[in-house]
Structure 1
Amino acid sequence: MAAPACGTGSGKSHCAPVPKAEADRNLSAYSPGLTELAIEVVSPGGVQRDYNDKVEFHASAGVPIYMIFDPYEGVCATMWTPESGTYRDRRIDDYGSTITAPAPLSDVKIETAQLPVDSADHP
């Protein structure tokens, strides 16, 4: 069972589900390899970083599921099955639907109907 664990890196706070036994250790940082799901929200100037650099980082670290919420395109890109620095499986869902993470985290559901879309300010 996963539990949230939070730490800091690059001056920013990060939270991710990690195995409960690790979260119970209450560390200030966790190995990316323990992360079961990584979620990013694209920020101005972050498109290249989130869609390319972080895909390679998370896949290489063995993070099973990576989700990118993009308020400029109004979509969520979900990637799973890390392999050779990328993800073998990908899905794009438009905002407005309930997005379900792939197994084994299919109990994670994110409602996107109320998420902001800012296409006028695309980075």
Structure 2
Amino acid sequence: MAVPQFGQAEVALDEFEAFDAAAPEGFHVELIDGRVLVSPAPDGDHDEDVAAIGLQILAREPTLHIYQGRGLTVPAYRAGRARVDGAVAPLGYFRGQPSWSDPAGVLMVVEVTSGREQDAEVDRVDKRDAYAQAGLPVYLLVDRHRGEAVVHWDPEGGVYRHSATSAFGAQLALPEPFGFDLDTSELA
């Protein structure tokens, strides 16, 4: 399947939907800032990192759940579609929603870097900016290439106004509505 590479011409929403429908099993297709991004399915460590975060959230707030691989519309800047590694929302929020869901009830998006170091820039910059533009309250990035977790919060004017970083093994203070220190010792 021929897929536009990062940095090439913008892709319209209908063109993206055709790419998404034709993607081979095991690949994630996203539309971020007008560009189609294709990545292989995550490895086991990737999934375990998301699950570890989800368990810590659930232990503190049993009404919340982390949904892995959820498709969200991120329309603030351009028509966008992100297949997030984790979407933290109230249990039942996605019931009845289409495969590309409204992110309005999502409290935090979690992404875990994978693949090559150069691919991580999409999570560090492009997705961060798209999530801020969509008004997602908190963005947590598990950066396996740098060995750190970064939390961004308080989006205003299309950018996150605050961020904090912790090396793996240290505590990372999550902002409200979470308000607890995330243990990053299980992240790899």
Coarse TM-score class (shorter-chain normalised)? 0.7 to 0.9
Do the aligned partners of 2:64 and 2:91 also contact (CA within 8 Å) in 1? yes
- Say if 2:173 is the partner of 1:111: no
Structure 2 matches for 1:39-54, cutoff 5 A? 39-43=110-114, 44=116, 45-54=118-127
In the TM superposition, residue 57 of structure 1 has moved relative to its aligned partner by 0.8
Structure of higher CA gyration radius: 2
Q: More strand per residue: 1 or 2? A: 1
3-state SS, counterpart of residue 122 of structure 2: helix
RMSD (Å), alpha carbons: 2.6
CA distance in 1, matches of 2:146, 2:85: 23
Corresponding residue number in structure 1 for 2:168: 95
Corresponding residue number in structure 2 for 1:22: 93
Percentage of matched positions with identical amino acids: 25
Segments of structure 1 that go 5 or more residues without pairing to the other structure are 117-123
**Which letter maps to 2:187?**
L
Do the aligned partners of 1:99 and 1:110 also contact (CA within 8 Å) in 2? yes
Do the aligned partners of 1:96 and 1:112 also contact (CA within 8 Å) in 2? yes
In the TM superposition, residue 2 of structure 1 has moved relative to its aligned partner by 3.3
Segments of structure 2 that go 5 or more residues without pairing to the other structure are 1-62, 73-80
TM-score normalised by the chain length of structure 2: 0.51
Number of residues of Structure 1 aligned to a counterpart in Structure 2: 114
Pick 1 or 2: higher relative contact order, CA cutoff 8 A, min separation 6. 1
In the TM superposition, residue 78 of structure 1 has moved relative to its aligned partner by 0.6
Structure 2 matches for 1:11-90, cutoff 5 A? 14-20=85-91, 22-23=93-94, 25-27=95-97, 28-43=99-114, 44=116, 45-90=118-163
